[in-house]
Amino acid sequence: MVAKITIPKSIEAALNYNEKKVEKGAAECLHAANYLSEAKNMNFYQKLNGFEMLNNLNSRATTKTIHISLNFDPSEKLSNDKLIEVANVYMEKIGFEQQPFLVYKHEDAGHPHIHIVSTTIKEDGSRINTHNIGRNQSEKARKEIEHQYGLIKAERQQQLMKPGIKPVDAQIAVYGKSETKRSISNVVGAVFRQYKFTSLTEFNAALKQFNVVADRGKEEGRIYKNRGLVYRILDSDGNKVGVPIKASSIGSKPILDNLEKKFTANEVAKETLKQRTKNAIDDCLQTSPGSMKNLVAALNQKNIYTVLRQNAEGRLYGITFVDNQNKVVFNGSDLGKGYSAAALQSKLAAVNENSLAKDETKGSSSSGVLLKENDLNKQQDKTISTTTKNENLLDVLLSTKEQYDNTPNNLLKKKRKKKKKINL
C-alpha cells in the first residue's frame, strides 16, 4: 500500500476535487467519519460545514486541511467495507481518529485507491502537528496495515510500477562499440516491444528517459535520404555521445519501416489508455503546481515522464507524456486541446494570477475588517472577533461568523450634539 499526503491551502479545494470526481461518476463517497449523518445523506455544504465548525476555532493556523491517498496494487480487489475499515485504521494510527473525515473511492486509475479528506483543527481549537507526518506516523501506519491485511508492500508495489528498463550510463560510450551496442540494444529492444507510440517523436520520448535516442540525421544527409536510422547514447545534458549504432544491426530490427508499422497498429490501442494520463495531469493541476517544472515533477511522482520540446530561444512549443504504468506515449495535443503545451502554460499562468489576486484581495479585505473593528471598539464595550490576515477570503464568505458591517444603530453610542451659543 502506498500512502501519499498533501496539505492543500483550503478545505474547499480538497472537497471540491473529490466531489467533482463523484459528479463525473469517477468516484464515490464511501464514508463520513465523526459526522452526525451518513455520507450518502449529505450534500456538499453539509460536508463542508463539518470541517468549517472546527476550522473556525483556530484563526492563527495557516494550514488546516490534510488530503491523503491510499493506493493499492491492481491485483488487490478490496470491497467497499474493507476500504472503509483500512481508512479508519489508518486514520487512528496517524492520530486523526477523533477528527471528521470523508473517504472517497476513486475509479479513474489502473489501480484501486481511496482519498481521505480531514481537518487538522481539534475540538479545543488546537492544531494537530503534521510536520513529518508522512515520514513518521504514516510510514509506520502503512507498514502495520500491510502486515495486518496481507497487502502488497509499498516497496514491491513501486518496483512493479517502474518501467523495468535500466537506463544506459553515458560513460559506457567511452568503452567502445561493443559495450555501446549491447547497452543500446537492451533499451531499444524493450521500448520497441513494450511501449505504444505513433510517431518517431513519441518513440524518442520513451527512449530519452533511458538516455537513448533514435536519430535520422540531417535532412540533407545520406542516412535521412535513404530512410536510415541510427541509435545514440545521450549524456546528462541530452548531448549525443559515443558510437552510433545502425538500427538494422539490433536484434529487434527497430528500423524505420518496422517503426512505421508500429505507428499504425498502435493508433487504436492507445485510445483506451488516454484517460489515465489525462486524469493524472488533471490531478497535478488541481494542486496548483505554479510552474511547468513543478508540474513535470508532480507527474513524475505518478510514474509519468514528461518531455518538453523547446526551440533555440528556449520557447516551449510541444510536450509529450510517457505513461510508464500503461507503457504508452501521448503528444499533449492528442489528449485534447486542454493538454497541449500552450494550453497547459495558460492554465498555469491563470492559476498564478488567481492566487496573486486572492492574496491581494485577502490582504485588503482583512485590513478593512480590522479598521472597522477599531472603530467599533471605540463605540462599544464588547470585543468583536475579526478575520485574521491568514484566513482565506472564501473561508470568510462561507463561515457562520457574525458580520459587523451593518451594526444596528441602537448598538452604537449616539454622539451628543453641541449646543450653539447664542450671542445676545
288: left (phi over 0), alpha (psi -120 to 50) or beta: left
Residue 30 CB neighbour total at 10 angstroms: 17
pLDDT at 253 over 60: yes
Summarize the confidence of residues 361-372 as an average pLDDT.
48
pLDDT of residue 421: 52
Give the span between the Cα atoms of 166 and 169, in whole angstroms. Answer: 9
pLDDT at 34 over 80: yes
Give the span between the Cα atoms of 105 and 18, in whole angstroms. Answer: 9
Radius of gyration of the chain (CA): 29
Summarize the confidence of residues 126-144 as an average pLDDT.
93
24: left (phi over 0), alpha (psi -120 to 50) or beta: alpha
CB 208 within 8 A of CB 234: yes
Instruction: Spell out the domain ranges in the chain.
Output: 2-161, 170-271, 277-424
What tens digit of pLDDT does each residue of 406-418 get? 434 443 444 455 5
Q: Do you know the residue count of the chain?
A: 424
CATH code assigned to 2-161: 3.30.930.30
- Model pTM? 0.55
Q: In the chain, count of helices (H) and strands (E)?
A: 14, 11
**Residue whose entry in the numeric block shows the C-alpha cell 501521448:** 330
- Which position has the higher pLDDT, 292 or 383? 292
pLDDT of residue 243: 87
pLDDT at 7 over 60: yes
Q: How confident is the model at residue 351 (pLDDT cuts 50, 70, 90)?
A: low
The torsion of the CA quartet 389, 392, 398, 403, rounded to 10 degrees, works out to 10
What tens digit of pLDDT does each residue of 174-226 get? 666 668 898 999 999 999 999 999 999 999 999 999 999 999 999 999 999 99
pLDDT at 280 over 60: yes
